[in-house]
A and B are shown apart, each in its own frame.
Chain A
């Protein structure tokens, strides 16, 4: 029968191996894409430079849900590969935001990753601006809350998981 024979079987086997391998690799990384299907209430602006033509810098935001007992559950990752990215973070409940700045060098094959973590409980009707910056080995993340009824916003203080449960 046309199309069938040893050559076609080998090609199908190769495709199957590749598909299984890809599935295993994506599962092994532990990362999944954040659904980001809520109204975008957090605008993240990213400025990241490695400082060298021989290295690169990637920034990502990992979002965790926090329950009443301050336990976290990973919800997914948003790659901040654009200068500005809109993210929908559930309002009225606590989330744990983890920004990672991951650098890799093309020479020597070295890589490193630095984390900035903070709790955030967005209020309904408010919007938030985050600025994630990395330059020449120094990083900073600032988050501001914007009240649509007022022109002035306020900086959101960084809070670690140890602060979970304390009044805001």
Chain B
């Protein structure tokens, strides 16, 4: 095998390795906590866990089940559809909101996609005491500001508005 061929194989391997996407919620949390372009937002709210969970259950399906269509102008128009899917998981000890996305038009995935789509954002809520909760939001440091603000609004109960999903990503 020649040196240029080895170099190409190494380069492709490195590139593909860098493109590996979290395949589970736990992997996504770990990748967001590490040195990457992700971040963790932490807030404490004056609402008990069960109230925050109830708000997530009410607002997430209504606001985050969305398909966003983007038309990219160029020599020919390219249409890309992104479909978002929220999942709310509630136990006595915590509430979780997972937001996943998948390209449903215009994009061919060359990397492995987890079940339900690529993770975009995860919000975990834990009780601090009987009246307060702590929310941790894991996600990209860019493109998720609108969704993060909306979810914080739901957690505090002060703003039940929906994020404009066209501004996500």
Contacts and interface: CB of A to CB of B under 8 A. Distances in A.
Interface residues of A, number: 15
A137 B62 contact: no
B150 interface: yes
A144 B73 CA distance: 42
B164 A112 contact: yes
Contact of B167 (A109, A112, A140, A158): A112
Contacts of A114: 164-166
Contacts, number: 39
A109 B163 CA distance: 22
A29 to B, nearest CB: 17
Interface residues of B, number: 16
A58 interface: no
B161 interface: yes
B46 to A, nearest CB: 21
Majority DSSP secondary structure for residues of B touching A:
helix
Contacts of B167: 112, 137
Given A133-B161, A158-B62, A138 B149 contact: yes
A126 interface: no
B153 interface: yes
A106 interface: no
Nearest to A113: B166
Nearest to A142: B160
B149 A136 contact: yes
Contacts of A133: 161
Which among B145, B160, B164 has the highest number of chain A CB atoms within 10 Å?
A: B164
5 contacts: A112-B166, A133-B161, A137-B149, A138-B146, A138-B162
Nearest to A140: B161
A157 B166 CA distance: 25
A116 B160 CA distance: 14
B62 A101 contact: no
Contacts of B146: 136-138
Contacts of A113: 166
Most buried by A among B145, B149, B161: B161
